[in-house]
Amino acid sequence: MSLVIRQATLADSVLLKELGYRIYPAHFKHMWKSESELDNYLECEYSLPVIEQNINDKNISWYIAEIDQPIGFAKLTWQATIPNTDISGVLLNKLYLAPTKTNQHYGQLMFKKVIDLARSNGKKFLWLEVLEQNERAHRFYKKQGMQYISDIVFETESQRSILKLMGMCI
């Protein structure tokens, strides 16, 4: 079965919410020290009002990856400046697959689609943020050709984390 990656519309808002609330915790729940902070994050990222606002924003696009059913999603911000730099480009906010669909090359196909979309929109640079402790994502993005740019330290009520900024010319 072939992978289809399509741009989400407002009609997909409920689906994106469901995918976000199911897929994100399946991969990252263990990294959160507090259940309430995870719940707050999910609400801030995947609530219907947030998703609908994003879809209506011309600088943001959501994409749904499907085979026989939805298996993942991606979110792009078309123009974003890398913190503490003067470098800007496309920010890959999210690229997530259902846990049962990882290690089947769907992530690589989605990443290739992101590159193709960025290039077709005249963009020259792609960047993203990866939690320092997310070693699997580091390996994946390095394999796709991304390199480390810098780090950002942030603190929540219960933990201190480091985001690794990665980028590549496209």
Q: Tens of pLDDT along 62-72? A: 999 999 999 99
Tell me the two tokens of residue 94.
């999210």
Residue range 42-93, pLDDT digits in tens? 999 999 999 999 999 999 999 999 999 999 999 999 999 999 899 999 999 9
User: Side chain identity at 31, as an amino acid letter?
Assistant: M
CA distances, 98 to each of 64, 82, 91 (Å): 12, 28, 21
Residue range 99-111, pLDDT digits in tens? 999 999 999 999 9
The SS3 call for residue 35 is helix
Instruction: Say which CATH topology domain 4-169 has.
Output: Aminopeptidase (3.40.630)
Whole-number Å distance between alpha carbons of 70 and 158: 34
